Amino acid sequence: MMSRTLHASAGLFAAVAVMAVPACHRQLSVKGAGGDSGEIDGGETGPTASGGTSGGVLGGIDQGSAAGSGGDTATGSGGGGDATASGGAGNIAPTVSTGGAPASSGGGPGHGPGAMNGGGGRTGSGGAPGSTGGVMSSGGAAGGGLASASGGASGAGGRPGSGGSSGSASAAAIKNVQMLATLTDIEPLAVGTNGVSLLQYAASGEAIVLYVDWSGTSTTWYRNSRASYAYPAASGVRQVDLLYVNAGYEIDEDGKAQDVSGTVTTYKEYLTANSQGFAWVNFETTGSPPMTSKLGSIVLQSWTGSRSSLTDASRYRSRPQMSESLIAYVEYASTAPGTVGQVRFQALGPGAVASPAAASAYHQDRPATDGDWVVWEEYPTSTDAVIRARNVTTGEVRTLSASVGFRTSPDIKGNLVVWQDERSGSGEIYMNDLGTTAGERVVVSGKGYSAAPRLTADGLVWIESYGGSTGLVKASWAY
């Protein structure tokens, strides 16, 4: 049995035993104490604070109000302090390991060449993919959510409290900030027309899927399935989930515990969806194959049940993401330790030929695509990541972010690209509008830890950790 560290709603960390996850990928990479897992997978969460409750989750977001959110304009109590809590940024070790050493206790297994079982983890453990190899670094400076100190920011003129400084960039970019649901884990979000779904873990350690509609009503799916892991995906009003249940790998729709893939015993990884259907990486085995022979094809199944293979099974592939006309994914030239992944894309039609997004000697990961654009994160050094984009029609390649500092989880909708950025030492959300030359700008900042952004029809949704709590937050654009 492996232990997982969960962040309880009361703001305390509790270790619980769960079933061993059968070699599943960590989907979201956030720097955490204990370091990073190499070029394939990292732990999925970063620092959730273990102290302080000033202003709740929203108290850590700088919305630019005069009083701040969670502080007081005069001498009132409850303002945010500066004491760091658990979690924080580790450093990536560039050396190669065939198995990889685990970081802090707990965590689910990683994947890919040089990845490890037992790496990753939640609430302050795990970390981001590195550029070479699969050894997790030790240590890492504490950071993440900030514990509250006594007293708010005071003084004439209304200096802000823990809510943030007036006139911030985020105030100019977003409005109508709303907490939708309390969470225990930071996991990737699957955004549909009516709401969002994500993997969470029950107190028993069982993997569940939490569905939250835009009014904030939460529904728990698959609580009694005894699943050990889940990949959610969404398109329009449809939500689908790949569940690891006992020895089966089933794909269920809209919370109904009924497989729609027709191949429950066949091992599967990842999940993505569009209006045509859903796709995953398919392996013709009845269990997770050894890394040395982990070769799989990407399969697309329509909502009516017809199936076609989009790739052959000659390479190891991961993290497919579809738009209405394209699919992008990470491909590895071999399964040897130290092999870097490269983002490739292709049309969804029959006989499509895959092309590299931008050939590079550096590891590329977590692609997203919409319209004519593919975006991804790339690791030019063992401690830095950059967000890049390619226009598949013109061939233009752009660098969208600064190159120093860690950043991850890009998403694109139309011309807008958002990502999680940790250049300041904590989680912020940045944006770049591909339709302008304005460059990158911060849209969510403050004393909290902002992670896993995803674009919606009129704004964005993300996960925020602050003051010992973690929640699902949404906002609309202010312009």
Location of structure tokens 């394939």: 40
Evaluate if pTM is beyond 0.75: no
Domains, the chain, ordered by start: 169-477 (2.120.10.30)
Tell me how far CA of residue 328 lies from CA of 279, 392, 449, in angstroms: 11, 11, 28
Tell me how far CA of residue 125 lies from CA of 78, 188, 313, in angstroms: 28, 16, 33
Location of structure tokens 């769960």: 18
User: How would you write the pLDDT of the chain (479 residues) with one tens digit per residue?
Assistant: 332 222 222 221 122 222 233 333 445 544 433 333 333 333 333 333 333 333 588 888 885 432 233 333 222 333 333 232 333 333 222 222 222 222 222 333 333 333 322 223 333 333 333 333 332 233 333 333 322 233 333 333 333 333 333 334 444 699 999 999 999 999 999 999 999 999 999 999 999 999 999 999 999 999 989 999 999 999 999 999 999 998 899 999 999 999 999 999 999 999 999 999 999 999 989 888 988 889 999 999 999 999 999 999 999 999 999 999 999 999 999 999 999 999 999 999 878 999 999 999 999 999 999 999 999 999 999 899 999 999 999 999 999 999 999 999 999 999 999 999 999 999 999 999 999 999 999 999 999 999 999 999 999 999 999 999 999 999 999 98
Q: Which DSSP string corresponds to 241-292?
A: EEEEETTEEEEEETTB---SSS-TTS-EEEEEE-SSEEEEEE-SSSSPPPGG
Instruction: With H, G, I as helix, E, B as strand and everything else as coil, classify residue 157.
Output: coil
For residues 54 and 447, is the Cβ–Cβ distance under 8 A? no
Instruction: Classify residue 206 by burial, with Cβ atoms within 10 Å: 0-12, 13-18, 19+.
Output: middle
Instruction: Classify residue 169 by burial, with Cβ atoms within 10 Å: 0-12, 13-18, 19+.
Output: middle
